[in-house]
Amino acid sequence: MTLAPTSIPLDVGRLRAAYKSGAARPSEVIAGIYERIGSSPLEPVWISVVPRRVALERARVLENDPLGTARPLYGVPFAVNDNIDLKGLPTTAGCPAYTYTPQRNATVVQALVDAGAIPIGKTNLDPFAAGLAGTQSPYGACTNVFGARYIAGGSSAGSAVAVASGLVSFALGTDTAGSGRVPAACNNLVGLKPTRGLLSTDGVVPACRSLDCVSILAHTGFGAHLVWLAARGFDPGDPYSRTPRIGEGAAPWLGGPFRFGVPAADQLEFFGDEQAAGLYRQAIADMEALGGKRAEIDFAPFRAAGELVDSGPWAAERVAAIGGFVESHGDEIPPVVREVITRARRFSAVDAYRAEYKLKDLRRATEAEWSRMDILFLPTTGTVYTREAVEADPVPLNSNLGYYTNFANLLDLAAVAVPAGFRRNRVPFGVSLIGPAFTDEALLALADRFHRTQAAPPEPPIDLAGCRPGCINLAVVGDHLTGQPLNHQLTDRGARLVCACRTAPHYRLYKLDGAMPPKPGLVRDDSFHGPGIEVEVWAMPEDQLGGFVTGIPAPLSMGTVALEDGATVQCFIAEPYALRHATEITQHAGWRNYLAQHR
């Protein structure tokens, strides 16, 4: 017996579980979605939808494919911001006069379709993604799912509302200065702004092309992570596409103690929203309960970088993208959006170079702050405005909405917006976890942990298979243990302690003869069953391991060691020849115990 289509939960994890158990089929889910879409006006959430018969045919093809269920997003419905190309539907970028019909899917859309996801339609946005309130579209202003008086956030307003309303499992937006994160915060969603270039922007109408990102809006970190895994990948057709170098984006802090930066009190701004200020204080306490150590940082260079997005020459990229269209169709663009685009013409090439020099100085200033934190932890927005307030004073209020978001792409950072409670009027509040480029996966995993302190997401936690992104697990048994003389060789390379544990029982420990300073040697003996030897497991960035290994003196080398829980890690082991004159100390079950009894 199958569930009625309208009762099937659409969050990615539970939908996949329903498919796996046979409780639902993609064609049933898609039919139910079209029933819900048809029961209300198309606009303002949707600008256009895939014909019902086309979506159902895609679902049936998946159902009849014997390998269909192996696709990671099998039968998962999604929406696409209408500045991202979806073959078969026009792209408007939120401006009817701009409309064109693409001949193929945007690269990122095609990757999701190949993964088994089913596109439902194109969603509403501020024209040309120019705005953070979501109120300027000629197709109508989307309203906050939790309070119709309030903005849905923008520019990716329709994508956020489509997910929050239960019409799709996830949606793609864009995010140049916060356009994916702000609507996520307004509608109680997870919003991932990936590292620039990780998701292709080929087939995306540019806003500021050097800064643009495709964003992911989902109910949970688990869902956003699955979509991110399917969507990412180098695209030779996108000149801004890139992949991380080995060790770049390593997060040895994930899963253990971590440092999170918060602005000094006089640098926080909630625009009179005291409830948001209180929710942020509670969110900080929740992060500390997860093992985080708060570090007060200077937010000024981040803010100064963010101000360059609107007031600096990067705004001229909008002219480069659509300036000709604005000249010929100015009357068909909302005045506020037109002003944002046309005022950028005042910048000169000299201005651009001066701004680039200033940005370099600001990046260097932020490096000092990053030395004190692993992630930056901020409100996503200081407040959520009513639609009436934004209509009365759109430009400064839009700017206020970007107070905590504008700088991320200019400083080449990754960010995840995550729910963090509700105001008394039930309008959501959200926070953002921000990290260096390519830390997307680690940020998602920590954001998911944080989300679980706020609610009980119905989906499983993100599983990174026991190893921290960009790192190699390394066990140490002697002088590299915490408090021992060579431990700095780990910490100097950015390694972080994962755990203290024991080896499997078939290991012996020896004190090596003649080693200075004294060293132990670990040896495997399958015929032996002992207590196991004390070790510490450290997560080391991949790009640091080579330099570390070259410093290992004979008769030690690196090998693979089994731990008491069955896991295997790299570890120091002793060459067999070194045991001829060595003293067995296995009975002490560890180097520290031996030293404590032989001082």
CA distance 351 to 354: 5
Number of helices followed by number of strands (H, E) in the chain: 18, 21
Residues 23, 63 share a domain: yes
The mean predicted confidence, pLDDT, of the chain is 94
Domain assignment present for 463: no
Average pLDDT over residues 299-304: 98
Domain boundary among 429, 454, 479: 454
Residues 536, 446 share a domain: no
Domain boundary among 405, 423, 454: 454
Average pLDDT over residues 575-588: 93
* Residue-level pLDDT at 487: 96
Identify the weakest region by mean pLDDT among 27-31, 152-156, 550-554: 550-554
Domain assignment present for 465: no
**Where are any strands of DSSP class E within 8-136?**
46-49, 77-81, 118-123
Structural domain boundaries enclosing 34:
5-234+258-454
428 pLDDT band, cuts 50/70/90, is: very high
* Residue-level pLDDT at 310: 78
CA distance 504 to 481: 18
Residues 515, 447 share a domain: no
Q: What is the pLDDT of residues 209-257, one digit of tens each?
A: 999 999 999 999 999 999 999 999 999 999 999 999 999 999 999 988 9
Average pLDDT over residues 580-588: 94
Residues 518, 446 share a domain: no
Q: What is the pLDDT of residues 396-413, one digit of tens each?
A: 999 999 999 999 999 999
Average pLDDT over residues 301-314: 90
Looking at the predicted structure, is the pLDDT value of residue 3 above 60? Answer: no
* Residue-level pLDDT at 317: 87
Looking at the predicted structure, is the pLDDT value of residue 422 above 90? Answer: yes
Inter-CA distances, 546 with 246, 247, 431, 489, Å: 11, 11, 37, 12
Looking at the predicted structure, is the pLDDT value of residue 138 above 50? Answer: yes
7 pLDDT band, cuts 50/70/90, is: low
Residues 476, 405 share a domain: no
* Residue-level pLDDT at 328: 86
Q: Is residue 252 a contact partner of residue 471, using CB atoms and an 8 Å limit?
A: yes
Looking at the predicted structure, is the pLDDT value of residue 5 above 60? Answer: no
Looking at the predicted structure, is the pLDDT value of residue 309 above 70? Answer: yes
* Residue-level pLDDT at 6: 47
Q: Which residues contact 154 (CB under 8 A, 6 or more apart)?
A: 125, 126, 131, 132, 133, 134, 135, 136, 179, 182, 183
Residues 224, 138 share a domain: yes
Residues 417, 292 share a domain: yes
Domain assignment present for 484: yes
Domain assignment present for 296: yes
Q: Is residue 203 a contact partner of residue 102, using CB atoms and an 8 Å limit?
A: yes
Q: Which long-range contacts (CB under 8 A, 24 or more apart) does 391-394 make?
A: 391/135, 394/131, 394/133, 394/135, 394/136, 394/336
Looking at the predicted structure, is the pLDDT value of residue 385 above 50? Answer: yes
Residues 498, 437 share a domain: no
Instruction: Look at residue 269 and give its three-state secondary structure.
Output: coil
CATH classification of the domain holding 543: 3.10.490.10
User: What DSSP assignment string belongs to 199-245?
Assistant: S--TTB--SSTTT--EEEEESSHHHHHHHHHHH----TT-TT---PP
* Residue-level pLDDT at 102: 98
Q: Is residue 376 a contact partner of residue 268, using CB atoms and an 8 Å limit?
A: no
Q: What is the pLDDT of residues 189-199, one digit of tens each?
A: 999 999 999 99
Q: Which helix (H) or strand (E) holds 113?
A: helix 107-114
Residues 53, 165 share a domain: yes
Identify the weakest region by mean pLDDT among 222-226, 348-352, 421-425: 348-352
* Residue-level pLDDT at 329: 86
Residue type present at position 70? A
Average pLDDT over residues 343-366: 92
Residues 519, 438 share a domain: no
CATH classification of the domain holding 54: 3.90.1300.10
Torsion 151-155-159-163 (CA) sign = negative
Residues 327, 183 share a domain: yes
Query: What percent of the chain has a predicted confidence (pLDDT) above 70?
Result: 99
Domain assignment present for 462: no
Q: What is the pLDDT of residues 74-113, one digit of tens each?
A: 999 999 999 999 999 999 999 999 999 999 999 999 999 9
Residues 495, 374 share a domain: no
* Residue-level pLDDT at 4: 39
345 pLDDT band, cuts 50/70/90, is: confident
Total domains in the fold of the chain: 2
The 507-511 sheet, strands edge to edge: 520-524, 507-511, 583-584
Q: In 3D, which of 249, 247, 260, 257 has the Cα closest to residue 498?
A: 257
Average pLDDT over residues 370-376: 98
Instruction: Look at residue 416 and give its three-state secondary structure.
Output: strand
Average pLDDT over residues 442-459: 91
Average pLDDT over residues 512-531: 90
DSSP label at residue 383? -
Q: Which residue bears the tokens 């014909």?
A: 51
Domain assignment present for 68: yes
